[in-house]
A and B are shown apart, each in its own frame.
Chain A
Amino acid sequence: MTLTQRTAGRRTVTAGVALAVGLTAALAACNGPRRIHENPVMINGDRVGSSDATVQAVAASTAAERETAAARRDSLRAAAVANCAPAVCAALARGELALSMTTAQVMAATGSTERAWSVRDAGGTTVMVARTLEAPPRDATGEVAMVQLGGGRVTSYSYREPQGLRVVSAPSDTTLEGRSRAIAAALIREGDAFDAAGDRVKALDRYDRALVLQPNDPMLQYRVATLLDLQLRPVEAQLRYRRFLQELELQRIEAVGDANAKLAEAIARAQQRILILERQAR
């Protein structure tokens, strides 16, 4: 083999190798060393579906359910106002619960139907509680926790309030004063718990809030004064101690006044009776 032939052979081999390397590189670049072998779930050209069908289906079912609920709510309302006592009728108009309401009236006052309540009967007593705590029924006053009925009439009901449950079992509880009294009592309980736990700042905060609702409570003033005294706030403590004494004095005066009034009434009544008895004796 001549030198020219060997050179030509080498060139051919070199060219072949170069071609093979180039081809491999091109193939490698095209296909890539993929480490992830997952089938695509969506590629270019696919279509993203629409949610309109879902919306329409929900709209249809919602409309039907709303119609049913409205019909039931209206029939309950009609039954509720058919034979209501004046106080109950007024409460229904305000959208508030009231004592001696019937089950239908409770539902009318809360704008709910049977679906909102879980009703249990036990020995002449009926208890109505919210079916779900996620969206409990509520009247104009607040969220209703439980309604108790005896003989088909409401005997007590309770609201879920920030300070806990507030029970209404007497007509006086339904008034603004009654509500304030109940909330103030809950705040005082909370304050006492903080005071016992050594958190005087939070205890004072609860007592202050209770004072807004019960401004003439002398013992509450005394608790605030004591806490301020312990917190080394002498000027405010002094004011509160004075207020406490003043409230006590006012209460004493009021008590004496009441006692004197009662005494005067008793004296007048006794004198009247003496006269009557004397006449009868003649």
Chain B
Amino acid sequence: MSRTHPPVPLLRPFVSVLHPHRTRRVAVGVIRAAALVVLAVATGACNNKRVARIEPTSVTDLSGRWNDADSRLVANELIEQSLTAPWAKRFADTHGGEAPTVIVGGFGNRTMEHIPVNTFVKDLERAFVNSGAVRVVASADERQVVRAEREDQQAHATTDSRARLAREQGAAYMLQGEVQAIEDAEGREKVVYYQVDAALVDLESNAKVWVGQHKIKKYIDRRRIGW
């Protein structure tokens, strides 16, 4: 009388109708196949990462959300608009050629997305400084660190090397702005509209001497099947 092994409990529903001799073979086969699948998945998981340096100026839209290309587009447009506008020249003309001084104020993100506004604000700041047409002073956050260092120098640095107090350059204008977004979606289609506004406000009179703007509209189509 041949010995019959009870079927593996997990496979019981599938093998209950089979002959007891075949049950063991099927169970072993299934376990082998599962092991092979797990092995293949594990091997694939180990090798699925690909990293490559790519050109930072390239457009790489993956999700349709705000990305580096949008930031650069905004920066380029604001730089172009602000440096070609007559406000800086007008100031220089009335101040014997002196460049106007700007401080970066608040730049708000009024969208539901996380938008790192500092990427294009810093680009704008860099363009201001490098053009020589505009002087930029440290913002409210940045100057706290500088002031602390200066205070520290008063106690610890030599007399001839310490930075003097009360020699800060006052800004004539403050850069302010905001990013806003409007979304419209239907089914698998979505349109996102971003509007970036920036303005330079006279610190004495509150007059806006320059207003810049850039608009981006994105159409996102999520296909079910694609190649």
Chain A interface (Cβ < 8 Å from any Cβ of B): 26, 29-30, 32, 34-36, 38, 40, 42-51, 54-55, 58-59, 62-63, 65-66, 68-70, 73, 111-113, 115-116, 130-132, 134-137
Q: Hey, which chain B residues are within 8 Å of A32, CB to CB?
A: 188-189, 221, 223
Known: A48-B76, A62-B131, A130-B94. A54 touches B84 (CB 8 A): yes
Q: Are A54 and B72 in contact (CB under 8 A)?
A: no
Q: Are A116 and B225 in contact (CB under 8 A)?
A: no
Interface of A is mostly: loop
B 89-133 to A, binary, CB cutoff 8 A, 1 in contact else 0: 111111111111000000000000000000000010001001111
Chain B interface (Cβ < 8 Å from any Cβ of A): 55, 57-61, 69, 72-73, 75-76, 79-80, 83-84, 87-100, 123, 127, 130-133, 172, 186, 188-189, 191, 202, 207, 209, 219, 221, 223-226
For B88, B131, B132, B209, the residue with the greatest tally of chain A CB atoms inside 10 Å of its CB is B131
| C-alpha gap A111/B97 in the complex (Å) | 9
Q: Are B191 and A36 in contact (CB under 8 A)?
A: yes
Q: Are B76 and A49 in contact (CB under 8 A)?
A: yes
| C-alpha gap A59/B134 in the complex (Å) | 10
| C-alpha gap A135/B94 in the complex (Å) | 6
Q: Are B94 and A132 in contact (CB under 8 A)?
A: yes
Q: Hey, which chain B residues are within 8 Å of A137, CB to CB?
A: 94-95
| C-alpha gap A46/B55 in the complex (Å) | 11
Q: Are A46 and B97 in contact (CB under 8 A)?
A: no
Q: Which listed residue, B87, B97, B133, touches A73 by the CB 8 Å rule?
A: B97
CB distance from A122 to the nearest CB of B (A): 23
| C-alpha gap A107/B191 in the complex (Å) | 56
| C-alpha gap A29/B222 in the complex (Å) | 10
Q: Are B59 and A44 in contact (CB under 8 A)?
A: yes
CB distance from B37 to the nearest CB of A (A): 28
Q: Hey, which chain A residues are within 8 Å of B130, CB to CB?
A: 55, 59
Q: Which listed residue, A36, A116, A130, touches B189 by the CB 8 Å rule?
A: A36
| C-alpha gap A11/B140 in the complex (Å) | 78
Q: Hey, which chain A residues are within 8 Å of B133, CB to CB?
A: 58-59, 62
Q: Hey, which chain B residues are within 8 Å of A42, CB to CB?
A: 59, 69
Known: A135-B91, A137-B94. A55 touches B189 (CB 8 A): no
